Amino acid sequence: MKVGAFLMPSHPPERTVGEGQRSDLEELVRLDRLGFDEAWIGEHFTAAWEPCPAPDLLIAQALPRTERIRLGPLGHLLPYHHPIELAHRVAYLDHMAEGRYQLGVGVSALPTDHALFALDASGGRNRKMTFEALDLMVRLWTDGAQEFNGEFWSMRETRSDLPGLGYHLAPLQQPHPPVAIAGLTPGSANHKLAGEKGYIPVSLSVDPDASVTAQHWEAVVEGAKRSGRTPDRSTWRIIRDVYVAPSDAEARELAMGGIMGRCWREFLLPVYLGLGLGPILKRDPSMPDEDLDLDYLVDNLWLVGSPETVAKRVMELQEQTGGFGHLVAVSYDAAEEVEAWERSLRLLVEEVVPACRTSLDASRPSPRLEAAG
């Protein structure tokens, strides 16, 4: 099991954009130094708690300051980008990263983003645009500029009698950088596409008993059958909120009383409930929304506690989902609690993950997670 981080990136609304950028860069440097395998950066346009409309710019700044960590957006919201232009930016950044880049894409879920771009998302239009855009990008990288006539975008060949003109900017990683796509709901078309195309499946995991998250992998398997692929669970990323401290009591106090608790209380919980996703968070569908408080979250959704407790919770998640290869911890703007936050990250890397690997090695005949079947 490998470990990564997901920077939404979240910042309290009173933080200036510049302060938030500096905090994000410091976090990426910290993650690299502590031994995280990867970090993903979100993209949103109308969320004050997530003020990052251009994760590729943050990645470009972080690359020369880091040494080994893989970086990528999670994800570029494809309905708002022309796929040919974005394919060039991705290829260019892939060369800058010298192999440390991976591309995450998203369909766009926030209704305010839809409104800003005058996007009618009814009938899954945003998802259709995303899938078509990604198809065009991959075709350009693998086959060059060819005739493409889609519902939303088109492409033409670039033949010219003039010297040096035509499509030429292929990515460094061949045939293209790793592609990831995230999903939240059971039977997600995103996860089916990941299975069909061999992309990296990412699960936003917020269900208390992981039964919904387990269904994410079922969608990957269903999609893989379309193309005759055998999906590999070791590529599956699961995103969770994590806070580790020497004792359960201290970890609980820090998680609830710090930026993690504030972000959920002021932003994430109201958004989940407003989008009608509250049932995913609940152990009992009849549970009233007002019972979704921080005490419930720390007990049911977050992985919070001592290294022993968190390792146990991670292994329970492994068992409940059937096994996954990457635990991706949500990163927060911990400017007011840097020492405790860095300690949490260090304990995750140095104590929790090794304990989980030992347990996994003892329970499986091979360190490679078995493919789904």
371 vs 302: which has the higher pLDDT: 302
Provide the percentage of residues in the chain whose pLDDT is more than 70.
97
Cβ-Cβ contacts under 8 Å for 40 (sequence gap 6 or more): 4, 5, 6, 7, 71, 72, 73, 74, 75, 104, 180, 202, 328
pLDDT for the residue 362: 83
Stretch (H or E) spanning 116: helix 111-116
Alpha-carbon distance of 122 to 150, in angstroms, equals: 19
pLDDT for the residue 365: 60
Residue 233: pLDDT over 70? yes
3-state class of 243 per DSSP?
strand
Question: Which residues make beta-bridge pairs with 237?
Answer: 202, 326
pLDDT for the residue 367: 44
For residue 369, what pLDDT band results from cuts at 50, 70 and 90?
Answer: low
User: What angle (nearest 5°) sits at the alpha carbon of residue 325, between those of residues 342 and 61?
Assistant: 50
The one-character DSSP state at 129 is: H
If one counts every other C-beta atom within 10 angstroms of the C-beta of residue 331, the result is 28
**Contacts within 8 Å (CB) and 24+ apart, 282-289:** 282/208, 283/208, 283/209
- String of b and e for 163-184 (b: at least 16 CB within 10 Å)? eeeebeebbbbeebbbbbbbbb
344-361 per-position pLDDT tens digit? 999 999 999 999 999 988
235-262 per-position pLDDT tens digit? 999 999 999 999 999 999 999 999 999 9
Average pLDDT over all residues of the chain: 95
pLDDT for the residue 285: 86
Q: What does the domain layout of the chain look like in residue ranges? A: 2-74+178-251+303-363
Least Cα distance to 269 among 243, 299, 291 occurs for 291
pLDDT for the residue 126: 96
Residue 368: pLDDT over 90? no
Both tokens of 136, joined, read 């065009």
* 182: phi then psi, degrees, rounded to nearest 5: -100, 155
Do 207 and 232 contact (CB within 8 A), yes or no? no
297 φ/ψ sector (left φ>0, alpha ψ -120 to 50, else beta)? alpha
Residue 82: pLDDT over 50? yes
Cβ-Cβ contacts under 8 Å for 297 (sequence gap 6 or more): 241, 261, 264, 269
User: What angle (nearest 5°) sits at the alpha carbon of residue 326, between those of residues 179 and 5?
Assistant: 80
pTM of the model: 0.94
Residue 372: pLDDT over 50? no
Pairing of strands 303-305, 242-244: parallel
Least Cα distance to 335 among 258, 266, 269 occurs for 258
Do 331 and 36 contact (CB within 8 A), yes or no? no
**Torsion of Cα atoms, 223 then 224 then 228 then 231, to 10°:** 180
3-state class of 263 per DSSP?
helix
User: What angle (nearest 5°) sits at the alpha carbon of residue 317, between those of residues 316 and 320?
Assistant: 85
Residue 370: pLDDT over 60? no
Q: For the chain, what is the radius of gyration of the CA atoms?
A: 20
Residue 263: pLDDT over 80? yes
In CATH, the architecture of 2-74+178-251+303-363 is Alpha-Beta Barrel (3.20)
270-324 per-position pLDDT tens digit? 999 999 999 999 999 899 999 999 999 999 999 999 999 999 999 999 999 999 9
168-202 per-position pLDDT tens digit? 999 999 999 999 999 999 999 999 999 999 999 99
Owner of token pair 């703007």: 333
